[in-house]
Amino acid sequence: MRHSSIPSAQLVVQHCKAKRIKNIIISPGSRNAPLTIDFTEDPYFSCFSIVDERSAAFFALGIAQYLREPVAVVCTSGSALLNYYPAIAEAFYSGVPLVVISADRPVYKIDVGDGQTIRQDDVFHRHIGYSAPLKQDIVHATDRVEKYAPKWLEDDSEDALQKRIQQHNDSELNTALNVALKVKLPVHINVPFEEPLYDTALKPAAVPLVVPAETTEHPAITDIQIFVDVWDASERKMVLVGVNPPNAVEQRFLDQLAADPSVIVFTETTSNLHHPKFFASIDSILAPIEKRDNHEMLFEKLRPDILLTFGGLVVSKKIKAFLREYKPRHHWHIDALKAYDTFFALNHHFKMAANPFFQQFFPVVKSKSSDYFSYWNTVRNAYEEKRAAYFDSIPFSDMTAFKILLPGIPEGYQVQLANSSTVRYAQLFDLHPSLHVYCNRGTSGIDGCTSTAVGSSVYAENPTLLVTGDLSFFYDSNGLWNNYVRPDFRIILINNNGGGIFRILPGKEDTENFQRFFETVHQMDAEHLSKQFGFDYASASDEKSLKMELSEFYAASAHPKVLEVHTPRILNDKILLGYFDFISSDYH
C-alpha cells in the first residue's frame, strides 16, 4: 500500500481511520493529491469521486444523514472550498457531522498573486463546529521552505521543529474530529502542502497520537419533581416535534403521550412519528382559525400551558407564528446538545435524548382529565371529512398530484423531500408509517436537495424516492452527475413552470417583474436532462396519465427513473388557498 510522502497528509488519514470515519467524498484536484493518494490506497475507506464540490458536500451530507455518522469531503485549494459552504451551513443547523478537509497552498504563497489561492483558514467561522489550521511540514520540500520561509528553520533542529509541528497537528485533528463525533457539527481541517505533491512512500513516516472521543452517560433529570408538579397540574399540554430521524423514539412513549387527554401531539412529515391520535397536518388546524371572526377565542383555546418540543427545526410557519403570539407558560425542549428558543418562550433545556427523558419522566407523571385533546380531535375529524370532499371537487393541480402520489409510495421507501412548496404540500397528507422521510431543513434551501437524496440512497436498505419541484431539480442537476445513482432511485418532479410558492406568499402580483424575478417563469422540461444522466423518463399532465405512469414507476428497472408531472402554474395557488377556506367552516 502506498502513502503520500508528506507527513501531514498521512496524519489526517490516520486520524480519520482511528476515529472510524470511513466514507470519503473526493473532488478531483492537484493540491489535494497527497490526501487522495492516502485515502484511496487504504482499503478501509469507501471513496467516492464527485467533480462539483457543492454537489459533493450535499452528497456527503446525505450519507451522514442516513448513517448518522461523520462523513469527510476532500477538495483542492482555492474557490473549490467555498463551494462547500451551502452544505456546511445546512449541516451546522441540522446537526450533521461533515468533516471538511481542504488542501491549501503554503502560507507564504497566500496573497502574493499565486494561482488557486484564497484565505482558507477559518473561512467558515460563523457556521462551523471547529476549524483546525494544520501546520506545514518542514521535512517535506525543505529546500523550498529554506527559500521562502527561512525563519521557520532558525530556532531549533529540523527534527525538533517537525516534532512540534506534528504535536500541533495531532492536537488540532483530535479536537476537530471529536467535535464532529460528539457535538454533531461540521468541522474544517485545512492542510497546507508544498510541492512535490505526488511522491509516495511504502511506509508512513508519521505515527498519530489519537485521543478518543469521550463517551457520556445519559444524565438524570435535575429537580424532576418541579417539572412533574407543573406537568400534572396543566390541563393543556402541546408536544411539537420537528425534524426527527426514523425510529428514534420508542413507540411505548408515543402511546403514553397519545393516551393522555390533556396532551395533543403535533407532528410533521419530517418528524417520522406516527400514531392515530397525533395531529399530522398542523396548518390544517391553524390556517382556518385565522379566517374566523372568533379567531382570538380559538387561539386562546389552543394556547398550551406547557409546550414540550424535541427534534430539529419545524416546517410550519403558522405554528411558529401562533406560539410566538400565544406563548405557553412553559416551554421545555429535549435535546442532548442544543435548544433553539424558536418561540421566544424557552424555560428549560433537558440535555438528553428523547428516550432517556421519557424513560425517567413518564413513570412519575399522571394523566390529567381535560377536554384539550377531545375538542381539537373533533376539529381534526371535521376537516378530514371536508378535505376529502374538497379533493373531489378540484381540477388537476399540485395538490391533486400530491394527493395521488404520496399514498402510492411503496412501503419501506426512503423519501427525500425537496424544500419550498414540496415539503409544505407534503405536510397536508398522511404518509405510511413505514416510510423514512428526510428533508434539508437546517437552512431550508433548494440548492442541494437532489445531491443529498443521491447520497442518502447509497447505503439505504430500501429504494429512495426524491419528490422535488422544478426549480430545485434544475438548480441541483449536477446532483445526478456521478456514478453512484442506483437503478432503484426514483424522482418525481412537480413542474409548475416556476417558483409556485411565491404565488402563495404575501406580495404576489400579476406583473411581468413578479413573474420574472420572483416566480421565475420558465418553459423547461426534464426529458433531455434525464436522458443525459441515464434516467428513464416519463411525464404526466393530468390525473389519468399520472395514475397510469405511477402503475409502472416503482417496478424494478435497469436504470433510475424520472417522472415529471406538469401542473398549471396559474391555478395552483388558488386551489391551495381555497383548501383552507373550504375546511374553515367547521371551526366553532
CATH of the domain at 26: 3.40.50.970
More confident residue, 496 or 217: 496
More confident residue, 480 or 498: 480
Whether residues 414 and 352 share a domain: the answer is no
Q: What is the pLDDT of residues 532-541, one digit of tens each?
A: 999 999 999 9
Residue 207 belongs to a domain: no
List CB contacts of 319: < 8 A, sequence separation 6 or more: 240, 266, 282, 283, 286
Last-in-domain residue among 333, 353, 379: 379
- Distance (Å, whole) CA 26 – CA 253: 42
Whether residues 407 and 345 share a domain: the answer is no
Lowest mean pLDDT among 5-9, 121-125, 290-294, 373-377: 290-294
10 Å CB burial of residue 224 (0-12, 13-18, 19+) is middle
More confident residue, 49 or 392: 49
Report the candidate in 200, 225, 565, 526 with the shortest Cα–Cα distance to residue 364. 225
Judge whether residue 254 has pLDDT over 90: yes
Q: 348: helix, coil or strand?
A: strand
pLDDT confidence bin for 498, thresholds 50/70/90: low
Starting at the edge strand that comes first in sequence, how are the strands of the sheet with 46-49 ordered? 46-49, 23-26, 71-75, 98-104, 187-192, 130-133
Per the prediction, the chain carries an average pLDDT of 93
The pLDDT of 424-433, averaged and rounded, is 92
Q: What percent of the chain has pLDDT over 90?
A: 82
Residue 367 belongs to a domain: yes
The pLDDT of 130-138, averaged and rounded, is 98
More confident residue, 493 or 579: 493
Whether residues 177 and 248 share a domain: the answer is no
Q: Which domain holds residue 19?
A: 3-201
Q: What is the pLDDT of residues 169-201, one digit of tens each?
A: 999 999 999 999 999 999 999 999 999 999 999
What pLDDT sits at residue 576? 83
Whether residues 172 and 236 share a domain: the answer is no
What pLDDT sits at residue 251? 95
Cβ distance 40 to 26 under 8 Å?
yes
* CATH number for the domain that contains residue 241: 3.40.50.1220
More confident residue, 228 or 577: 228
The pLDDT of 16-43, averaged and rounded, is 97
What one-character-per-residue DSSP string does 305-322 give?
Answer: SEEEEESS----HHHHHH
Alpha-carbon distances, residue 326 vs 121, 305, 400 (angstroms): 45, 10, 33
Judge whether residue 418 has pLDDT over 70: yes
Q: How many residues comprise the chain? A: 588
Whether residues 290 and 369 share a domain: the answer is yes
Lowest mean pLDDT among 77-86, 135-144, 306-315, 516-525: 516-525
Q: How many CB atoms lie within 10 A of CB 534?
A: 13
Last-in-domain residue among 354, 379, 404: 379
Q: What percent of the chain has pLDDT over 70?
A: 95
Whether residues 20 and 160 share a domain: the answer is yes
What pLDDT sits at residue 512? 64
Residue 391 belongs to a domain: no
Residue 42 belongs to a domain: yes
- Our count of domains for the chain comes to 3
- Distance (Å, whole) CA 588 – CA 586: 6
Within 394-445, residue ranges assigned H as helices are 398-405, 421-426
List CB contacts of 234: < 8 A, sequence separation 6 or more: 262, 304, 305, 306, 330, 368
Q: 280: helix, coil or strand?
A: coil
The whole-model pTM stands at 0.94
Judge whether residue 348 has pLDDT over 60: yes
Cell matching residue 552: 409502472
Whether residues 195 and 333 share a domain: the answer is no
What pLDDT sits at residue 355? 97
Residue 310 belongs to a domain: yes
Last-in-domain residue among 379, 411, 434: 379
Whether residues 489 and 554 share a domain: the answer is yes
The pLDDT of 57-71, averaged and rounded, is 98
Q: What phi, psi does 494 have (nearest 5°)? A: -90, 110
Q: How far apart are the first and last CA of the chain?
A: 74
Whether residues 343 and 372 share a domain: the answer is yes
What pLDDT sits at residue 155? 83
The pLDDT of 347-361, averaged and rounded, is 96
How many Å separate Cα 67 from the centre of its chain? Answer: 13
Whether residues 49 and 90 share a domain: the answer is yes
Whether residues 321 and 348 share a domain: the answer is yes
pLDDT confidence bin for 205, thresholds 50/70/90: confident
List CB contacts of 22: < 8 A, sequence separation 6 or more: 44, 45, 46
Residue 218 belongs to a domain: no
Whether residues 274 and 185 share a domain: the answer is no
pLDDT confidence bin for 577, thresholds 50/70/90: confident
The pLDDT of 449-457, averaged and rounded, is 98
Cβ distance 34 to 6 under 8 Å?
yes
The pLDDT of 368-388, averaged and rounded, is 91
What pLDDT sits at residue 420? 83
Q: 67: helix, coil or strand?
A: helix
Residue 212 belongs to a domain: no
Judge whether residue 521 has pLDDT over 90: no
pLDDT confidence bin for 287, thresholds 50/70/90: confident
Cell matching residue 471: 426549480
Lowest mean pLDDT among 59-68, 72-81, 136-145, 201-210: 201-210
Residue 127 belongs to a domain: yes
Within 204-348, residue ranges assigned H as helices are 224-233, 251-259, 282-290, 295-302, 317-325
Beta strand extents in 77-204 (DSSP E only): 98-104, 130-133, 187-192, 200-201
Alpha-carbon distances, residue 6 vs 162, 221, 301, 302, 398 (angstroms): 12, 49, 67, 63, 56
